[in-house]
Chains A and B, each alone.
Chain A
Amino acid sequence: MKQFKTVFHFELMNYLKRKSYIAVTIVLMAVVAAILLVPLAMGGTADVGQQETVAEENTEILLLDETGGALEYLNGVFADSGYTFVSAGEDVAQMKAQVDEGAYEFAVVVTGPLSYTRYVQTITMYDMFDAQLSEALLQKYKEDTLLSLGVPQQELEKLDTATVTQDVQITASGKDQSQSYWYTYILIMVLYMVIIIYGQFVSSSVAAEKSTRAMELLITSANPKSLIFGKVLGTGSAGLLQFALVLGTAFAIFNANAEAYAAVPMLQAFFGMPLSLFLYTILFFVLGFYIYAFLFAAMGSLVSRMEDLGTATQPILWLFIVAFVVVMFSMGSGEMNNPVIVACSFIPFTSPMAMFSRIALGNVAPWEIIVSVAILVVSAVLIGMLATGIYRLGVLLYGNPPKPKEIIRMLKNSKA
């Protein structure tokens, strides 16, 4: 236990003192702060999510109205959007030329109650004008038709302002994914990156000890279990600390400016996530990290040169990417109870992400969570012991990394 603490302390301090660790943490905190603060500084968040095309200043649009009454109507509808329709002559060719020269941004010929032609030089990605114009013309057509049928004007206005009162209630076995989707997405991404990055740190740190030949001295000074558990837990704690600092920064900024963010539903959803889900994030981060980190450590001990590390750790990465893809597909489909993800939520290597996403987006019975976590804990311990065995054997293996078959044979021999 004392040796474990010594190793843990040494490994953790190695990260905390490292300039790159400090720099990356600060940069990540700054990026999070920037994401949250820059929109605020640029004049509030009210505009976020608004999708209508708004002309930069007052833009004049040439209009040739072949039906009559459209000019006045459209200027009324578009009054707030910065567009002003001006009447053009009868010459369509001249209108086109004026647009092409850039004198007007575009020209519109209303050819019938439900049809128009627009002449435009460039249609940008964000051009929503056609949708707006179509809607306006359709509205005019409906109003004209109703008026011609003798519906009084005031009835029309009532129709115009009528709204439906919504009351969406989620039943006991359902979940509102529209709220939880984004923060689950973000957390899964973070979980993915932290496990991959810190898992690789573990394997390269083991491989470095081996390639510098410090290993022989280490295993004769301390027991291998202390060495590997200390290293994995030390590295994991460094990762968790970084994660906590970045997330803490986000929460601090959000709470300090809570009122300003009131209008942004995505942020509201993220920072308003239930405490239980936050705790699940930590739980699955910890368990998911350990199970992978032990594998990474074992692989690190099998290579004798840093160059071989990439090849040796590839199977683990594939396993991890499969889990990630399954979760992402299921999240995309919104169906969190499909057999694949249900199965994945109990398999130790995929369950950290799969079970977490099911808890966040689907409905999971408590027993399922308990069973999944129990399997994960037991597997993490077993993988830890297996990794210790491989680590112990791998330490003095130099040359090419052994094949899985050879590892199993050697493990058997060492037990006998």
Chain B
Amino acid sequence: MEVDGILFEAKDLYKSFGSKEVLKGVSISAKSGQATGLLGRNGAGKTTTIRIAMGVFPPDSGSVLVDGAPIDRGKLRIGYLPEERGLYAKSLIAEQLLYLARLRGMHTKEAKKSIAYWLEKMGLAEYANKKLEVLSKGNQQKIQLAAALIAKPELIILDEPFSGLDPVNATLLEDVVKEQITEGKMVLFSSHQMNYVEKFCDHIAILHQGRIVLDGEIDEIKRSYDRKKMLVKSRQAEQIVQYCKEKLEDILTLAQMEEGNAYLELKEEKLKNDLLLALAGQRFDLDSVSVFEPSLNDIFVEYTGSEEVAADEAV
């Protein structure tokens, strides 16, 4: 267990391909024991950022740092799931995993143990001595994930890990990532599927048109939204909305039904108690009254949805 941990940063990355400026000063960071989600729409620059972090190509300017010093990719063990999936279709699965583990400096014996562990974990142990091409696409992707994890990396970078996985496999991936985080690993991944991100990610950075437009802990981000919006769950939601419209005009600016719940907006945050007392006084059958927090999806759309659709996925 690496409790102390490391800090991984990409600072002020700029990158152009030809005349197209893909990254315009992107900074992200990841810490041991934490999962960082790099979110963005297609073409936002996620893959470019990740490829620079992996050293696939250099940035035009900016730096990739580990604990403040330029990264030494020979020292930090990084597990990588590229966006472009692919391994040797015609080679045996265990053989190519061994090859990749050996390339990353593992000893054969240790590597074989690790491969057996991960194949078992992925539920693909019986395919160890089969060719990769016999597997379905989703299962091939699990092999790819195993390839990223066999060499016991300290930093795990996953580019769009959920694409192509069915819900069961997505849950498996989620468990694996959670386990890695508990073990103190750093996980950095990109996605545009907010439902998965929200489940196991503490820290997010939203990338939009080559810039980081939002960066922080999910909870804090959510809490940063004003707390005037209230959500009341009740079987009598419609009566509640009706009542609010008629009687509580002085403390509310809005009362409406939203997805079967009563959605109310207070004039001021401190009027929460007045609302509670009023509703309690009417003896409505309340299930819950809570401050309405935006979902990650709402936040994402808010930050990235306004402008025109960006061009193709990053180069």
Q: Which of B87-95, B181-189, B213-221, B274-282 contacts A (4 or more CB under 8 A)?
A: B87-95
Query: Quick one: given A396-B56, A396-B57, are A216 and B102 in contact (CB under 8 Å)?
Result: no
Do A10 and B99 have beta carbons less than 8 Å apart? Answer: yes
Alpha-carbon separation in the docked complex, A109 to B231 (Å)? 126
Alpha-carbon separation in the docked complex, A396 to B89 (Å)? 19
Q: Which one, A7, A14, A216, A222, contacts B84 given CB within 8 A?
A: A216
Q: Which one, B57, B87, B91, contacts A217 given CB within 8 A?
A: B87
Contacts of B100 in A (CB 8 A): 217, 221
Contacts of A14 in B (CB 8 A): 91
Distance to closest chain A CB from B314 (angstroms): 11
Do A220 and B78 have beta carbons less than 8 Å apart? Answer: yes
- A330 at interface (Cβ–Cβ under 8 A)? no
Do A6 and B86 have beta carbons less than 8 Å apart? Answer: no
- B305 at interface (Cβ–Cβ under 8 A)? no
B315: nearest chain-A partner, CB-CB: A396
- A340 at interface (Cβ–Cβ under 8 A)? no
Do A217 and B82 have beta carbons less than 8 Å apart? Answer: yes
Do A220 and B87 have beta carbons less than 8 Å apart? Answer: no
- B103 at interface (Cβ–Cβ under 8 A)? yes
- B294 at interface (Cβ–Cβ under 8 A)? no
Do B103 and A213 have beta carbons less than 8 Å apart? Answer: no
Query: Quick one: given A2-B105, A3-B103, are A220 and B86 in contact (CB under 8 Å)?
Result: no
Query: Quick one: given A217-B80, A396-B56, are A212 and B103 in contact (CB under 8 Å)?
Result: no
- B64 at interface (Cβ–Cβ under 8 A)? no
Distance to closest chain A CB from B73 (angstroms): 8
Alpha-carbon separation in the docked complex, A134 to B54 (Å)? 86
Do A216 and B56 have beta carbons less than 8 Å apart? Answer: yes
Query: Taking chain B's interface residues, is the majority helix, strand, or loop, or is none over half, making it mixed?
Result: loop
Of listed B54, B85, B86, B91, residue having the most chain A CB within 10 A: B86
Alpha-carbon separation in the docked complex, A2 to B87 (Å)? 21
Do A222 and B103 have beta carbons less than 8 Å apart? Answer: yes
Contacts of B102 in A (CB 8 A): 6, 10
Do B105 and A220 have beta carbons less than 8 Å apart? Answer: no
Q: Which one, A2, A212, A216, A395, contacts B88 given CB within 8 A?
A: A212
Do B84 and A213 have beta carbons less than 8 Å apart? Answer: yes
Alpha-carbon separation in the docked complex, A219 to B80 (Å)? 11
- A147 at interface (Cβ–Cβ under 8 A)? no
Alpha-carbon separation in the docked complex, A209 to B89 (Å)? 10
B82: nearest chain-A partner, CB-CB: A216
- A24 at interface (Cβ–Cβ under 8 A)? no
B90: nearest chain-A partner, CB-CB: A208
Contacts of B147 in A (CB 8 A): 217
Within residues 196 to 251 of chain A, which ones have a CB less than 8 A from any CB in chain B? 209, 212-222
Contacts of A395 in B (CB 8 A): 56
Contacts of B260 in A (CB 8 A): none
Distance to closest chain A CB from B130 (angstroms): 15
Contacts of A218 in B (CB 8 A): 103
Contacts of B104 in A (CB 8 A): 221-222
Chain B residues bordering chain A, tally (CB within 8 A): 23
- B70 at interface (Cβ–Cβ under 8 A)? no
Contacts of B123 in A (CB 8 A): none
- B164 at interface (Cβ–Cβ under 8 A)? no
Of listed A14, A209, A216, A222, residue having the most chain B CB within 10 A: A216
Query: Quick one: given A217-B147, A219-B56, A220-B55, are A212 and B99 in contact (CB under 8 Å)?
Result: no
Query: Quick one: given A2-B105, A7-B103, are A220 and B85 in contact (CB under 8 Å)?
Result: no
Within residues 123 to 147 of chain B, which ones have a CB less than 8 A from any CB in chain A? 144, 147
Of listed A2, A3, A10, A219, residue having the most chain B CB within 10 A: A10
Contacts of B89 in A (CB 8 A): 212
Distance to closest chain B CB from A344 (angstroms): 39
A213: nearest chain-B partner, CB-CB: B86
Alpha-carbon separation in the docked complex, A215 to B91 (Å)? 15
Of listed A212, A219, A221, A222, residue having the most chain B CB within 10 A: A221
Of listed A2, A3, A6, A396, residue having the most chain B CB within 10 A: A6
Q: Which one, B54, B56, B86, B105, contacts A212 given CB within 8 A?
A: B86
Contacts of B88 in A (CB 8 A): 209, 212, 214
Query: Quick one: given A6-B99, A396-B56, are A220 and B80 in contact (CB under 8 Å)?
Result: yes
Alpha-carbon separation in the docked complex, A3 to B105 (Å)? 8
Query: Quick one: given A216-B56, A396-B57, are A221 and B87 in contact (CB under 8 Å)?
Result: no
Q: Which one, A3, A213, A222, A396, contacts B85 given CB within 8 A?
A: A213
B92: nearest chain-A partner, CB-CB: A17
Distance to closest chain A CB from B183 (angstroms): 21
Alpha-carbon separation in the docked complex, A14 to B90 (Å)? 10
Alpha-carbon separation in the docked complex, A221 to B73 (Å)? 9
Contacts of A215 in B (CB 8 A): 86
Contacts of A3 in B (CB 8 A): 103
Q: Which one, A6, A209, A216, A396, contacts B103 given CB within 8 A?
A: A6
Contacts of A219 in B (CB 8 A): 56
Do A213 and B99 have beta carbons less than 8 Å apart? Answer: no
Q: What are the interface flags for B43-75 relative to A under an 8 Å C-beta threshold, 1 for contact and 0 otherwise?
A: 000000001001111000000000000000000
Contacts of A212 in B (CB 8 A): 86-89
Query: Quick one: given A212-B88, A396-B56, are A221 and B82 in contact (CB under 8 Å)?
Result: no
Q: Which one, B54, B57, B80, B86, contacts A214 given CB within 8 A?
A: B86
Alpha-carbon separation in the docked complex, A222 to B104 (Å)? 7
Q: A214-B87, A219-B56, A220-B80 provided; 6 other pairs, C-beta below 8 A?
A: A10-B102, A213-B82, A214-B88, A216-B56, A216-B86, A217-B86
16 contacts between A and B (CB under 8 A): A2-B105, A3-B103, A6-B102, A10-B99, A14-B91, A212-B89, A214-B86, A214-B87, A216-B51, A216-B86, A217-B80, A217-B82, A217-B100, A219-B56, A396-B51, A396-B56
Q: Nearest 8 A-B pairs (CB), nearest first?
A: A213-B86, A213-B84, A216-B82, A212-B86, A222-B103, A221-B103, A6-B102, A220-B54
Residues of A within 8 A of B (CB): 2-3, 6-7, 10, 14, 209, 212-222, 395-396
